[in-house]
């Protein structure tokens, strides 16, 4: 099992990066939030990893925190949630918000995640509610529900631009250039107009 990797960022792909670790290039799949917050190319970076092995495929999934890695492993233990769907779920929000929604059995909030239907949300709650002890340190206060329902402007913009066909690297670079112009009060439409000037 590959637990973590540290090296230089070589390339940013659509849903993954290439990390040079002492001359070996590892492709590591990341959630959208981690892709949009990467350092510049050739800069050092570390990921906690999950090594997914199937009969015909091996994949590495990377996370910026141990909590995110551990939750991903727990999430993908739910029947019907493979690594790709797990990564998609974690691209939409953070671990604390997911844990809070599962604890509160909040199906409405969970189904706001694209690709997560009511039956899968119910299965997540049933399978995971009693397995969240390791995540007790994460806040579960009611404000998290509001934060979950209104993702950050950067997450919204990244998802919108990805649906328009822009690459993860283009989005990341544009977000880095205009970060001071993006506020939570900005509408999605206005935010897209700001970002398009940098694409």
Domain ranges in the chain are: 4-63, 78-149, 153-196
Tokens linked to 105: 């059995």
3-state secondary structure 24-56: EEEEEECCHHHHHCCCCCCCEEEEEEEEEECCC
**pLDDT at site 99:** 87
Q: Mind listing the pLDDT tens digit for each residue in 177-190?
A: 887 787 767 777 78
Q: Give the architecture (CATH level 2) of 4-63.
A: Beta Barrel (2.40)
DSSP conformation letters of 128-190: HGGG-GGGTTS---THHHHHHHS--HHHHHHHHHHHTT--HHHHHHHHHHTGGG--TTS-HHH
Over residues 129-139, mean pLDDT: 77
Q: In the predicted model, what is the mean pLDDT of residues 48-67?
A: 92
Q: Which long-range contacts (CB under 8 A, 24 or more apart) does 76-83 make?
A: 77/127, 78/120, 78/123, 78/124, 78/127, 78/128, 79/123, 79/127, 80/120, 80/123, 81/120, 81/124, 83/29, 83/50, 83/52, 83/59
d(CA 36, CA 168): 7
Task: Say if residue 8 is exposed, middle or buried (CB neighbours under 10 Å; 0-12, 13-18, 19+).
Answer: middle
- Fold (topology level) of 78-149: DNA polymerase; domain 1 (1.10.150)
pTM of the full predicted structure?
0.70
78-149 matches 4-63 in CATH topology? no
Given a cut of 50, whether residue 30 has pLDDT beyond it is yes
């Amino acid at each position: 099992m590959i637990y973590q990797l540290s090296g230089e960022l070589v390339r940013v792909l659509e849903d993954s990066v290439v990390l040079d670790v002492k001359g070996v290039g590892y492709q590591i799949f990341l959630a959208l939030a981690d892709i949009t917050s990467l350092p510049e190319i050739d800069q050092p970076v570390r990921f906690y990893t999950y090594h997914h092995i199937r009969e015909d495929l091996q994949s590495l999934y990377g996370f910026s925190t141990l909590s995110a890695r551990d939750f991903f492993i727990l999430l993908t233990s739910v029947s019907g949630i493979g690594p790709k769907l797990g990564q998609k779920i974690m691209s939409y929000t953070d671990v604390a918000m997911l844990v809070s929604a599962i604890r509160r059995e909040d199906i409405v909030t969970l189904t706001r995640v694209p690709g997560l239907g009511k039956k899968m949300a119910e299965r997540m709650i049933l399978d995971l509610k009693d397995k969240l002890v390791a995540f007790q340190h994460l806040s579960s206060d009611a404000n998290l529900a509001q934060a979950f329902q209104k993702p950050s402007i950067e997450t919204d913009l990244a998802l919108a631009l990805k649906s328009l066909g822009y690459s993860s690297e283009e989005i990341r670079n544009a977000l880095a250039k205009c970060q001071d112009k993006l506020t939570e009060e900005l509408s999605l439409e206005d935010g897209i107009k700001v970002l398009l000037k940098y694409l």
